[in-house]
A and B are shown apart, each in its own frame.
Chain A
Amino acid sequence: MNKKYLRDDIIRMSGVNPKKCMRCGKCSGTCPAYDEMEYHPHQFVSMVENGDIEPLLSSDSLYRCLTCFACAERCPRGVEPAKLIEAVRLTAIRRQGANRLTPSDIPAMLDEDIPQQALVSAFRKYTK
């Protein structure tokens, strides 16, 4: 897949226009998972815009995003970085054999405090 196609595909999937970003950094200023991430929300926006997507696809940051949508809610320009991160994550797990979670992983992770709904969402987010 060439770089431009990948970029356009992610932009189309997410419905986000990264050109609207004014580089204020409010998304990263508000992100509760900031310290866990190698690439931060504002970097997702500028890297996608520049077509620099491979490093994002192979980064663990994709799975550190909590999808809490604080960045999307507070972005003054309506860019919604969370949707962009979601699109990159989908692009990553849709590759062959790239599922992040398989049913056989579940028994080891079971914990009384984890609600059923969290598991369902985890499958939706991490599995194609």
Chain B
Amino acid sequence: MQRIGVFVCWCGSNIAGTVDVAAVADALKNEPGVVFSTDYQYMCSQAGQDLIVSSVKEYSLTGLVICSCSPRMHEVTFRKTAAAAGLNPYMVEIANIREQCSWVHKEMPIGTEKAIILGKAAVAKVNLNAPLTPGESPVTKRALVIGGGIAGIQTALDIADAGFPVDIVEKKPTIGGKMAQLDKTFPTLDCAACILTPKMVDVAQHENVRIFSYSEVTDVKGFIGNFDVTIKKNARYVNEDICTGCGDCVTKCPQKKVPNEFNLGMDNRSAIYIPFAQAVPKVATIDPAHCTMLKTGKCGVCSKVCKAKAIDYTQKDEYITEKYGAIVVATGFDPISMDKFDEFAYSQSPDVITSLEFERLTNAAGPTAGKLLRPSDGEHPQKIVFVQCVGSRCDSCSEKGKEYCSKICCMYTAKHAMLTRDKYPDTEVYVFYIDVRTPGKNFDEFYRRAVEEYGVHYIKGMVGKVTPEGKKLMVRASDLLDGKQLNIDADLVVLAAAIEPDKSARSLATMLTASMDTNDFFTEAHPKLRPVESPTAGVFLSGTCQGPKDIPETVSQAGAAAAKVIGLLAKDKLKGNPCVASSDELMCNGCSSCEKVCPYGAITYEDKEFRMPDRTTRIRRVASVNPAVCQGCGCCTVACPSGAMDLRGFMNEQIMAEVDAICK
């Protein structure tokens, strides 16, 4: 029989305001096994924990029930307290009488009644608890960063600086991500390339960093500290190790009509290409969809002009498998497609562009060498209309847009408007806004400067319709503050398109068993207290894959993710979770139900020899759980038709005892 101590927490007035804590302590006193029961103002405080430790000694307690907040909040705290008092940490049960009781009920009698019932269930469970000891697993001291944008680069640099090897996997031929496509950065207006490209060089030259560009992660197995990752290195038909990046092949390639994705299709590139001058690694890549040699076998110009003999038309995709202790997701974002927004005439006129296209149009390395010219006729636009919130802040049922605020558009639109007025003071610039959201250091000052110093016309209202008419774009919009409908004959319309997570994120999340929200942003383990960790142990989040972010925020989060990875890799051994499934071989009928439902691949079947009662031996097929891989989700225990599977710490009989206690 257990000797159980019950400790009811007031949580100040959080619990005590709606639950009669003294009555709860009193009611639980008479439950089977309970030898001591009390209440205290703050159980998690040092004084509260001391009370637990002294009570364990005084009453020789063998099990603890803490009636307090959610176990997600303080289960770890109280397990440590139990260990300090000499108990096995798994002899502690939490009855959640805050989130499930005082915060959801208004009346004291109802709250108190439910608190007592939850307390009884916890007592019933502790009566059946057994001490559990976590196993240990080694840690592979190498990290994987998926995505080579500013988030991935910063995370990799920080981890590498701490002395741990890091691999970056980037699907494009170069690292740099979206930031490499930007012209200037708000609110300081320093040039994106000037601050990014030195970091790209740093990371490429770092002795602890390897870059797999033009590569993808295709399979992830294993668990925290011990991931086995398969990386597919796409054939670029150029030997990376000997290509010098001289660019002779690019100049001589006869196929020059390939839309240049780096400039968002606003100009063309050749079939063999280096995305931009500062690309890292600076090696050429052949686009197999457009290369005449690869398609028809007749060309070979690049191979002839290459002095380094780096061209290799026979190159094949290569798969490599590597072990990692931690994985950082930094897959970034893309602007959403404007195809469904017919009212803005994006697909009807080349002079309706997105903000990212505007970045390329104003970038010195862009298709117009930095001159702001209309894509249709190359003329200088006199009147420019910026439309904010295109596809952001839409209704949840919207088929066109996203429900969230994309966060960065207010600031980059202010930047675009300001830079346009600065470079071309003869241009009239209108910005249509719903709200101007500028919560950031020096952000509102920046926006006010655009209005006050640069004379940008900010109009509260939304553009309803853009109609191409001859060389002009007729913009019909409302001016809500003046109570007018405006008709502006614009030369260029710039749409601040909402951003969405990169399309590859969903399949990656499945591989990692990392959770995502309905918008395909990765979910963090706790929105406030664990913002850079995925709920899946050993998987960390960096940058916009977790939610819309600007560059300073991305860099901060990248550093935070790196700190978490370093903390993990610094350990030699990891304590596992002892609450894992185990199968009773004598009851297992070998049906494979558990193997099919296990999301972690922790269950395998093996043929085992059993001695039968009649002294013969028989080979039977039985399930076996790898405790290092099992995450304790319990799917298998539900699927098992013969009741052979059970989850330590949540045994079937423990759960039934809780249910009995609640229904009594």
Task: Say which residue of B393, B401, B460 sits within 8 Å of A22 (CB atoms).
Answer: B393
In the complex, A25→B481 CA distance in Å?
A: 10
- The residue among B397, B465, B483 with the most chain A CB atoms within 10 A of its own CB is B465
The stretch from B323-331, B422-430, B472-480, B603-611 touching chain A is B472-480
Q: How many A-B contacts are there with CB distance less than 8 Å? A: 72
Distance between A49 CB and nearest chain B CB, rounded to angstroms: 15
Task: Say which residue of B461, B463, B485 sits within 8 Å of A35 (CB atoms).
Answer: B485
Closest-by-CB residue of B relative to A79 is: B395
**Docked complex: B219-263 residues within 8 A CB-CB of A:** none
Q: What 1/0 mask marks residues of chain A from 20 to 33 whose CB sits below 8 Å from any chain B CB?
A: 10111111111100
Cβ–Cβ < 8 Å partners of B478 in chain A? 25-29, 34, 40, 42
| A3 interfacial contact with B, CB 8 Å | no
Closest-by-CB residue of A relative to B475 is: A29
In the complex, A20→B398 CA distance in Å?
A: 13
| A70 interfacial contact with B, CB 8 Å | yes
Closest-by-CB residue of A relative to B461 is: A25
- The residue among A25, A35, A74, A75 with the most chain B CB atoms within 10 A of its own CB is A25
| A15 interfacial contact with B, CB 8 Å | no
Closest-by-CB residue of A relative to B390 is: A76
Check A26 against B462 for contact (C-beta < 8 Å).
Answer: yes
Task: Say which residue of B432, B462, B485 sits within 8 Å of A34 (CB atoms).
Answer: B485
Q: How large is the interface on A (under 10, 10 to 19, 20 to 34, 35 or more residues)?
A: 20 to 34
Query: Known: A25-B480, A77-B394, A77-B395. Contact between A31 and B464, CB under 8 A?
Result: yes
Query: Known: A24-B389, A24-B434, A74-B343. Contact between A29 and B395, CB under 8 A?
Result: no
**Docked complex: A33-80 residues within 8 A CB-CB of B:** 34-35, 40, 42, 70-71, 74-79
In the complex, A31→B487 CA distance in Å?
A: 12
**Docked complex: B452-503 residues within 8 A CB-CB of A:** 460-465, 476-478, 480, 483, 485
Q: What 1/0 mask marks residues of chain B from 391 to 421 whose CB sits below 8 Å from any chain A CB?
A: 0011101101100000000000000000000
Cβ–Cβ < 8 Å partners of A77 in chain B? 393-395
Cβ–Cβ < 8 Å partners of B398 in chain A? 76, 78
Task: Say which residue of A25, A26, A34 sits within 8 Å of B460 (CB atoms).
Answer: A25
Check B463 against A26 for contact (C-beta < 8 Å).
Answer: yes
Distance between B43 CB and nearest chain A CB, rounded to angstroms: 41
Cβ–Cβ < 8 Å partners of A70 in chain B? 464-465
Check B476 against A29 for contact (C-beta < 8 Å).
Answer: yes
In the complex, A74→B476 CA distance in Å?
A: 13
In the complex, A20→B394 CA distance in Å?
A: 10
Task: Say which residue of A20, A23, A30, A42 sits within 8 Å of B465 (CB atoms).
Answer: A30
The count of residues in chain B whose C-beta lies closer than 8 Å to any C-beta of chain A is 23
Cβ–Cβ < 8 Å partners of A42 in chain B? 478, 480
Cβ–Cβ < 8 Å partners of A78 in chain B? 394-395, 397-398
Check A23 against B480 for contact (C-beta < 8 Å).
Answer: yes
Check A76 against B485 for contact (C-beta < 8 Å).
Answer: no
Task: Say which residue of B400, B462, B485 sits within 8 Å of A24 (CB atoms).
Answer: B462
In the complex, A28→B479 CA distance in Å?
A: 9
Distance between B624 CB and nearest chain A CB, rounded to angstroms: 53
- The residue among B343, B434, B478 with the most chain A CB atoms within 10 A of its own CB is B478
In the complex, A63→B394 CA distance in Å?
A: 29
**Docked complex: B335-361 residues within 8 A CB-CB of A:** 343
Check A30 against B395 for contact (C-beta < 8 Å).
Answer: no
In the complex, A32→B85 CA distance in Å?
A: 76
Cβ–Cβ < 8 Å partners of B464 in chain A? 26-31, 70-71, 74
Cβ–Cβ < 8 Å partners of A28 in chain B? 461, 464, 478, 480, 485
Cβ–Cβ < 8 Å partners of A31 in chain B? 464, 485
Check A29 against B485 for contact (C-beta < 8 Å).
Answer: yes
Distance between A23 CB and nearest chain B CB, rounded to angstroms: 7
In the complex, A35→B21 CA distance in Å?
A: 66
In the complex, A118→B241 CA distance in Å?
A: 74
- The residue among A28, A77, A79 with the most chain B CB atoms within 10 A of its own CB is A28
Query: Known: A24-B462, A77-B394, A78-B398. Contact between A30 and B389, CB under 8 A?
Result: no
Distance between B477 CB and nearest chain A CB, rounded to angstroms: 4
In the complex, A28→B432 CA distance in Å?
A: 13
> Which 8 A-B pairs rank lowest in CB-CB distance, beginning with the nearest?
A30-B464, A29-B464, A78-B395, A26-B462, A29-B478, A25-B478, A28-B478, A34-B485
Measuring CB to CB, which residues of chain B are less than 8 angstroms from any residue of chain A? 343, 389, 393-395, 397-398, 400-401, 432, 434, 460-465, 476-478, 480, 483, 485
A-B contact pairs, 16 of them (CB 8 A): A20-B395, A22-B393, A23-B480, A25-B478, A26-B462, A26-B478, A29-B462, A29-B464, A29-B478, A74-B343, A75-B395, A76-B393, A76-B394, A76-B401, A78-B397, A78-B398
